[in-house]
Amino acid sequence: MKHGEGHTIYLLGIGGIGMSALARYYHSFGYTIAGYDRTPSPLTQQLENEGMAIHYEDNPNLLPALIDMVIYTPAVPKDLKEFEALQKHNIKIMKRSEALGQISEQHFTIAVAGTHGKTTTTAMVAHILNQCGKNTTAFIGGIANNFNSNLLLGQGKDSILVAEADEFDRSFLHLRPNVSIINSIDSDHLDIYGDREHLVAGFNDFAQLTEQKVIVKEGLAIQTDRGIRFGFGDGCDYRVEIIKSEKGITDFIIDGEGQKTEVRLPMAGDHNVLNATAAFIAARQIGIEPKAIAEALTSFKGVKRRFDIHVNNEKHCYIDDYAHHPEEIRSCLTAIRTSFPEKHITLVFQPHLFSRTRDFMDDFASVLALADELILLDIYPARELPIAGITSQALLDKVQMRNKRICKKEELINLIDEEKPELLVTMGAGDIDRFVEPLEKLIKTW
């Protein structure tokens, strides 16, 4: 299909973070973009403001008269009426990952994989390249604060593509990276892979698809003769040493290629230091000088919903984070403790998926207890049906702490207003993000 007007691309699940980036990408080339999503959101509103036609009712009668191509997300239920109707027509239908794979074939591609950390690392790589004057197109799995978007548009096929490589549904196997990053392989998406062994095998398959260099965090079971290892250990090709971390700023040294580079990162947490190191190495692969990379990192503003500080005054602090896996929760709460050691942490957590809650019930119970007080919302089902015995109450019962409770979503604002917590954290990958703006406004009135 040629670029240009007169061609309509229809996106099922257009409001998803990856889908909306694709919609913006194709829209920039003059395609007519239309789509369906289950519920309106600030992101779908932005897409509508940009000229895309979106509806929120699963109704085949609302489909555009002429559609040239359909892109769907695996999160869309297969019994969706519109999906069934579209399959009956002679229309090209592809997954989001397939569409991104086709785009990656046209560019020099840096792909960022990992069960967590990939969104922040993708945003870091895109920011470094952009700051250093490289023609860059980036698909980011979150809203990067430096661009206020999940898409950075470069100029033509000469632009370097930076893409988040999602392991869910084995999506990343559609990419053909020149350089890749693998920064974590914690057990997740076992509903797709079955067990950890197959998950690791999936990441190794991804590494084999990489043409030049695979940038791998130390300790990960990636078998490749093109690997560059990074981490805190002595055996790494790029070794990291933290100098100091305070008030959300971390100073550290990257020792690699026979030279040491001092970096100041405006973020807390060892995990973000490692993310920045992976981004540093990726930028080196395309010839950017170490000092220029370090300078670019000083102005990195993070990603919305990743250790996102909304209020920080003398009395109260409010942080929102996307963490939805036990290791992500541990990293985030540890970073909060480092940055705010004296404050009482009240955590509002919305579990994401019944299967993930079941698979990691004990791990969730352990890491949630790192907060001082816990407020649990009901499990966000996303694409799943309930599983017998897997509830937020069952999880709460396992958490070993005194101050804990279940809260209905409609009661959350009033509860927070009554308690007026010193340091509030909202966390999860479901629709808990809808509370961020009202909570920020509320806390600023106290």
Inter-residue contact 374 to 349 (CB < 8 Å): yes
Distance CA 30, CA 107 (A): 20
Write the burial class of residue 164 (CB in 10 Å: 0-12 exposed, 13-18 middle, 19+ buried): buried
**What are the structural domains, with CATH classification, of the chain?**
8-95 (3.40.50.720), 105-297 (3.40.1190.10), 308-443 (3.90.190.20)
How would you write the chain as a 3-class SS string?
CCCCCCCEEEEECCCCHHHHHHHHHHHHCCCEEEEECCCCCHHHHHHHHCCCEEECCCCHHHCCCCCCEEEECCCCCCCCHHHHHHHCCCCEEEEHHHHHHHHHCCCCEEEEECCCCHHHHHHHHHHHHHHCCCCEEEEEEEEECCCCEEEECCCHHHCEEEEEECCHHHHHHHCCCCEEEECCCCCCCHHHHCCHHHHHHHHHHHHHCCCCEEEEECCCCCCCCCEEEEECCCCCCEEEEEEEEECCEEEEEEEECCEEEEEEECCCCHHHHHHHHHHHHHHHHCCCCHHHHHHHHCCCCCECCCCEEEEECCCCEEEEECCCCHHHHHHHHHHHHHHCCCCCEEEEECCECHHHHHHCHHHHHHHHCCCCEEEECCCECCCCCCCCCCCHHHHHHHCCCCCEEECCHHHHHHHHHHHCCCEEEEECCCCHHHHHHHHHHHHCCC
Q: Which residue has the tokens 């897997």?
A: 390
The token pair at 155 is 């100029």
Q: Is 417 helix (H, G, I), strand (E, B) or coil?
A: helix
The residues facing 404 across adjacent strands are 374
Q: Is 421 helix (H, G, I), strand (E, B) or coil?
A: coil
- What is the model's pLDDT at position 33? 97
Q: 428: closest CA among 355, 320, 343?
A: 320
- What is the model's pLDDT at position 192? 72
- What is the model's pLDDT at position 156? 84
- What is the model's pLDDT at position 189? 58
Write down how long the chain is. Answer: 446
- What is the model's pLDDT at position 168? 78
Inter-residue contact 295 to 130 (CB < 8 Å): no
Write the burial class of residue 149 (CB in 10 Å: 0-12 exposed, 13-18 middle, 19+ buried): middle
Inter-residue contact 352 to 430 (CB < 8 Å): yes
Q: 265: closest CA among 244, 249, 254?
A: 249
Q: What does the longest C-alpha to C-alpha distance in the chain come to? A: 64
pLDDT tens-place values along the chain, 446 residues long: 455 556 899 999 999 999 999 999 999 999 999 999 998 988 999 999 999 999 999 999 999 999 999 999 988 888 899 999 999 988 999 999 999 999 999 999 999 999 889 999 999 999 999 999 999 999 999 999 999 999 999 998 899 999 999 887 788 999 999 999 999 998 665 667 768 888 999 999 999 999 999 999 999 999 999 999 999 999 999 999 999 988 789 999 999 999 999 999 999 889 999 999 999 999 999 999 999 999 999 999 999 988 889 999 999 999 999 999 999 999 999 999 988 988 999 999 999 999 999 999 999 999 999 999 999 999 999 878 999 999 999 999 999 999 999 999 999 999 999 999 999 999 999 999 999 999 999 999 99
Task: State how far the alpha carbon of 113 is from the alpha carbons of 152, 205, 297, 318, 445, in Å.
Answer: 18, 12, 20, 29, 40
